[in-house]
């Protein structure tokens, strides 16, 4: 556990020392608020007006934007986690230290998840406070949506870390992670026109659909918890497998 904590502190400290993380936080919060308050969500069947236009005390138009934004933001935050180590040659030093690969993967995941989770907390709660000052906001739905957003963020971070290990270069890792996650999000737009068997399979595979039909509505479903745990676990295990293969080259 101390090894995981050491990796966590190293990764999070490095991220917070970089102006990129702070700039990314500001862009994420401001961009999400502009989309929520002014633009709304004009995509697919779930078209929603912006808050000021719709006048409803709800965060629905904010939550529905999180999957496509996370699909870009999470790979951007994680693309250098392994790719930078490979480029600078520090991965060989890390992999020869008395630290297990499991601890390295867990520490890097925890640091990236903590960063994206904190960004999400700031963006969601600040928007909720503004909405609550205007009308009666259902805080139960807000807390449920926040929990679902954190689970969604964990999945995206785990996939982004895997892409960083597989891609080995930062740009390749970003593109690989973003493409995979955007495909999973975009596929959900067509779930209603697919045959029932395909639609059910897609629902199980897509993190976005689990979030939008569960946490984003303030609903708790054990299947969503199991899905998030399995998705994060599978991505982290595959990450370890990639690193083991690299160690024995």
pLDDT recorded at residue 88: 72
pLDDT recorded at residue 229: 93
pLDDT recorded at residue 82: 82
**Could you read off the pLDDT of 115-124 as tens digits, one per residue?**
999 999 999 9
CA–centroid distance for 151 within its chain: 8
Where residue 157 falls among pLDDT bands split at 50, 70, 90?
very high
pLDDT recorded at residue 191: 66
93 has a pLDDT exceeding 60: no
184 has a pLDDT exceeding 80: yes
12 has a pLDDT exceeding 80: yes
Range 235-239 average pLDDT: 94
Q: Give one DSSP letter per residue of the chain, joined into a string.
A: -HHHHHHHHHHHHHHHHSHHHHHHHHHHHHHHHHIIIII-B-SSS--B--HHHH--S--HHHHTTHHHHHHHHHHHHHHHHHHHHHHHTHHHHHHHSSS-HHHHHHHHHHHHHHHHHHHHHHHHHHHHHHHHHHS---HHHHHHHHHHHHHHHHHHHHHHHHHHHHH-SHHHHHHHHHHHHHHHHHHGGGGGGS-HHHHHHHHHH-HHHHHHHTGGGT---HHHHHHHHHHHHHHHHHHHHHHHHHHT-
Write down the pTM of the prediction.
Answer: 0.90
49 has a pLDDT exceeding 90: no
Considering only residues 84 and 29, tell me which one the structure prediction assigns the higher pLDDT: 29
92 has a pLDDT exceeding 70: no
pLDDT recorded at residue 57: 85
111 has a pLDDT exceeding 90: yes
Question: For the ranges 87-91, 121-125, 212-216, which has the lowest average pLDDT?
Answer: 87-91
Q: Which of 97, 41, 31 is nearest to 64 (CA)?
A: 41
Instruction: Name the phi and psi angles at 41, rounded to 5.
Output: -125, 100
Considering only residues 197 and 116, tell me which one the structure prediction assigns the higher pLDDT: 116
Domain boundaries, the chain: 2-246
pLDDT recorded at residue 70: 96
207 has a pLDDT exceeding 90: no
pLDDT recorded at residue 249: 58
């Amino acid at each position: 556990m101390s090894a995981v904590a050491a990796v966590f502190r190293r990764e999070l400290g490095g991220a917070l020392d970089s102006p990129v993380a702070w700039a990314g936080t500001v862009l994420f919060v401001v961009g999400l608020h502009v989309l929520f308050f002014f633009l709304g969500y004009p995509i697919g069947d779930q078209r929603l007006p912006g808050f000021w236009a719709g006048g409803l005390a709800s965060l629905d138009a904010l939550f529905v934007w999180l999957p496509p934004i996370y699909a870009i933001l999470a790979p951007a935050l994680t693309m250098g986690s392994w790719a930078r180590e490979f480029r600078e040659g520090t991965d060989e030093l890390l992999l020869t230290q008395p630290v297990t690969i499991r601890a390295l993967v867990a520490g890097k995941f925890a640091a990236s998840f903590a960063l994206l989770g904190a960004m999400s907390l700031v963006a969601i709660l600040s928007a909720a406070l503004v909405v609550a000052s205007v009308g009666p906001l259902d805080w139960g739905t807000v807390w449920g949506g926040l929990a679902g957003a954190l689970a969604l963020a964990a999945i995206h971070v785990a996939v982004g870390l895997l892409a960083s290990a597989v891609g080995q270069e930062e740009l390749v890792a970003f593109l690989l992670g973003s493409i995979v996650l955007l495909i999973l999000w975009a596929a959900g737009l067509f779930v209603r026109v697919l045959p029932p068997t395909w639609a059910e399979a897609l629902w199980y595979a897509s993190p976005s659909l689990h979030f939008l039909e569960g946490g984003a509505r303030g609903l708790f479903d054990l299947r969503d918890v199991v899905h998030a745990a399995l998705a994060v676990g599978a991505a982290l295990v595959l990450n370890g497998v990639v690193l083991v293969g690299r160690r024995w080259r």
